[in-house]
């Protein structure tokens, strides 16, 4: 089954035509892929949130690994670029682009046909106990978005994506300029700024990047790079320009093979009661 490429059911995928690697996404896997590639590292130019002390220690260790492999580290390549100022994190997460989630779900559910028990956003809300687009529902993080609320009034109408498109243009322009200025094709950040919160807690995932690359449409690949004292995984995320997935996979493969930080999950047999 294809997981990349054009789909008639998603018009946005037309952009992939001509950008899927002809030799495949694994064609650049190599134990020397990182050789000679300068690496941009995390700084306030990307996000103003500082790394907590344990993350700083873990991240410093990974950077030493990269330097031992001859890597040139470029400190905070987006300093002074205004990149960090582009974010709208007033609600803890920049949700621009999520305006379309109600409309997209409406189109998805309609494909089930009239005979289905759930075939529209209205019928979904009638079937579930918690409104998925309420503050207490799965989409609570974006529940206050004015454009989302407008879309909820009529899920059949395409939403206004002008704010998202403006944000995407600004992010891509600033991102590409930062890479070009420092001759970079990869950034290597800690995946999180702090140890991970409990699964059952209400604290947000302390990511160093999610909304930025989601809005800009940039690829990011996480690779194991150690553990917090709590036992939670510490990972690096490799970020590159649009359509650089095969290159990033090569970099991640190189790093993982060289460091051996990946811990293979162990299956535990739990008796059935």
Give the list of residues 6+ apart from residue 47 with CB closer than 8 angstroms, or none.
84, 87, 208, 209, 212
Cα angle for residues 89, 86, 50 (degrees, 5° grid)? 60
Q: Could you report the per-residue pLDDT of 77-114, keeping only the tens digit for each?
A: 999 999 999 998 655 578 888 888 899 999 999 999 99
Q: Could you report the per-residue pLDDT of 116-155, keeping only the tens digit for each?
A: 999 999 999 888 877 888 877 776 666 777 777 788 889 9
Q: pLDDT value at position 1? A: 38
Q: What percent of the residues of the chain are helix, what percent strand, and what percent coil, each to the nearest 5?
A: 35, 10, 55
Q: pLDDT value at position 129? A: 78
Q: pLDDT value at position 171? A: 97
CA-based max dimension of the chain? 62
172-199 b/e (C-beta count within 10 Å ≥ 16 → b): bebbeebbeebebbbbbbbbbbbbbeee
Residues of the chain with pLDDT under 50: 1-2
Domain boundaries, the chain: 11-90+164-259, 98-159
The rounded Cα 118 to chain-centroid distance in angstroms is: 30
Q: Does domain 11-90+164-259 have CATH number 3.90.1300.10?
A: yes
Q: Can you give the pTM of this predicted structure?
A: 0.88
């Amino acid at each position: 089954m294809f997981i990349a490429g054009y789909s008639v059911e998603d018009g946005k995928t037309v952009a992939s035509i001509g950008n899927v690697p002809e030799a495949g996404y694994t064609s650049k896997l190599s134990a020397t892929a990182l050789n000679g590639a300068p690496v941009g590292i995390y700084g306030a130019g990307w996000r103003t949130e500082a790394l907590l002390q344990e993350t700083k220690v873990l991240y410093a260790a990974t950077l030493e690994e990269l330097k031992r492999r001859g890597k040139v580290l470029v400190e905070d390549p987006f300093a002074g670029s205004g990149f960090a100022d582009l974010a709208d994190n007033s609600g803890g997460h920049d949700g621009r682009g999520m305006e379309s989630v109600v409309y997209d779900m409406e189109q998805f559910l309609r494909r089930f046909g009239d005979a289905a028990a759930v075939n529209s956003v209205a019928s979904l809300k009638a079937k579930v106990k918690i409104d998925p687009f309420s503050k207490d529902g799965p989409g609570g993080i974006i529940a206050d978005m004015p454009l989302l609320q407008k879309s909820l009034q009529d899920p059949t109408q395409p939403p206004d994506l002008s704010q998202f498109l403006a944000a995407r243009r600004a992010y891509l322009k600033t991102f590409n300029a930062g890479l070009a200025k420092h001759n970079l094709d990869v950034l290597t950040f800690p995946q999180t700024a702090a140890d991970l919160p409990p699964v059952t807690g209400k604290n947000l995932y302390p990511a160093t990047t999610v909304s930025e690359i989601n809005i800009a449409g940039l690829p990011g690949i996480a690779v194991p790079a150690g553990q917090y004292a709590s036992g939670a995984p510490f990972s690096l995320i490799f970020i590159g320009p649009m359509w650089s997935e095969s290159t990033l996979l090569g970099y991640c493969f190189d790093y993982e093979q060289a460091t051996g930080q990946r811990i293979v999950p162990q299956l535990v047999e739990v008796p059935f009661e």
